[in-house]
Chain A
Amino acid sequence: MLSYLLLTLLLLSSIGYYLGRNRAFQVAGGHVRNLHSLPSFHGSYTALWCGLPALIVVAVWAFLQPSIILELVLSHLPPALRELPPDRLGLLINDIQNLANGNIVSSNPNPAVLAAAEHYQYLQRIGHICLWIVALLAATAGIAYGWRAISPKLRARNRVERVVTLLLIASSTVAIFTTIGIVLSVLFESIRFFHKVPFSDFLFGLQWSPQTAMRTDQIGSSGAFGAVPLFTGTLLISGIAMLVAVPIGLMSALYLSEYASPKFRAIAKPALEILAGIPTVVYGFFAALTVAPLIRDLGTALGFQVASESALAAGLVMGIMIIPFVSSLSDDVINAVPQSMRDGSYALGATQSETIKRVLLPAALPGIVGSILLAVSRAIGETMIVVMAAGLSANLTANPLQAVTTVTVQIVTLLTGDQEFDSAKTLAAFALGLVLFIVTLILNIIALHVVRKYREQYE
Chain B
Amino acid sequence: MNAMTIEAQTAVNGRSGQTMREVPQSGVQIADYDHRQTVGEITVDNPKMSCREVNVYYGAKQALKQVSLDIGINEVIAFIGPSGCGKSTFLRCLNRMNDTIPSCRITGHIQLDEDNIYDKSIDVVQLRARVGMVFQKPNPFPKSIYENVAYGPRIHGMVNNKAELDELVFASLERAGLIKEVENRMGEPGTSLSGGQQQRLCIARAIAVNPEVILMDEPCSALDPIATAKIEELIDELRENYTIVIVTHSMQQAARVSQRTAYFHLGDLIEVGETDQIFTNPRHKLTEDYITGRFG
Contacts and interface: CB of A to CB of B under 8 A. Distances in A.
Interface stretch (A274-282, A309-317, A352-360, A394-402): A352-360
Of listed B125, B127, B209, residue having the most chain A CB within 10 A: B125
Nearest to B123: A349
Nearest to A366: B142
A346 B155 contact: no
A352 to B, nearest CB: 7
B231 interface: no
Interface string A337-366: 010111111111111101000110011000
Nearest to B153: A348
Contact of A347 (B97, B126, B140): B97
Interface string B151-174: 110011000000000000000000
Contacts of A345: 141, 151
Contacts of B139: 338, 340-341, 343-344
Nearest to A355: B155
B230 interface: no
B202 A346 contact: no
Contact of B141 (A346, A349, A359): A359
B256 interface: no
Contacts of A341: 139, 141-142
B133 interface: yes
Interface string A153-173: 000000000000000000000
Contacts of B133: 343, 347
Contacts of B155: 348-351, 354, 358
A261 interface: yes
B88 to A, nearest CB: 12
A347 B143 contact: no
Interface size class of A (residues with CB under 8 A): 20 to 34
B1 A351 contact: yes
Contacts of A347: 95, 97, 128, 132-133, 135, 206
Interface string A296-310: 000000000000000
B151 A348 contact: yes
Contacts of A354: 155
B35 interface: no
A344 B97 CA distance: 10
A262 B1 CA distance: 16
Contacts of B95: 347
Contact of A343 (B97, B140, B152): B97
A358 B143 CA distance: 9
Interface in B109-164: 124-129, 132-133, 135, 137, 139-143, 151-152, 155-156
Contacts of A363: 141-142
B281 interface: no
B202 to A, nearest CB: 7
A340 B202 CA distance: 12
Contacts of A351: 1, 125, 155
B59 to A, nearest CB: 13
Given A343-B97, A358-B151, A348 B209 contact: yes
Of listed A344, A347, A348, A363, residue having the most chain B CB within 10 A: A347
B205 interface: yes
Contacts, number: 72
Given A349-B126, A349-B155, A344 B135 contact: yes
B2 A352 contact: yes
B100 interface: yes
Q: Is the interface of A mostly helix, strand, loop or mixed?
A: helix
Given A348-B155, A348-B206, A261 B3 contact: yes
B206 A362 contact: no
Contacts of B97: 343, 346-347
Nearest to A262: B102
Contact of B132 (A340, A348, A352, A362): A348
A344 B204 CA distance: 12
Interface in A216-249: none
Nearest to B128: A349
Contact of A362 (B140, B142, B152, B205): B142
Nearest to A351: B125
A440 B205 CA distance: 43
A346 B100 contact: yes
Interface string A319-348: 000000000000000000010111111111
Contacts of A342: 100
Given A344-B202, A347-B95, A347-B135, A352 B1 contact: yes
B284 to A, nearest CB: 32
B137 A348 contact: no
A32 B206 CA distance: 76
Given A349-B125, A349-B152, A349-B156, A344 B141 contact: yes
B104 to A, nearest CB: 14
Contacts of B206: 347-348
Contacts of B132: 347-348
Nearest to A354: B155
Contacts of A346: 97, 100, 128
Of listed B133, B142, B152, B206, residue having the most chain A CB within 10 A: B142
Interface in A240-299: 261-262
A350 B1 CA distance: 10
A358 B148 CA distance: 11
Contacts of B156: 349
Nearest to A340: B139
Of listed A342, A348, A362, A363, residue having the most chain B CB within 10 A: A348
Contacts of B125: 349-351
Contacts of A358: 141, 151, 155
A373 B186 CA distance: 32
6 tightest A-B contacts by CB?
A: A349-B129, A347-B133, A349-B128, A340-B139, A344-B139, A348-B152
Given A347-B133, A347-B135, A354-B155, 20 more contacts: A262-B102, A340-B137, A343-B100, A343-B133, A344-B140, A345-B141, A346-B128, A348-B128, A348-B151, A348-B155, A348-B209, A349-B124, A349-B125, A349-B128, A350-B125, A350-B155, A351-B125, A358-B141, A358-B155, A363-B141
6 contacts: A341-B139, A344-B140, A344-B141, A346-B128, A349-B155, A362-B143
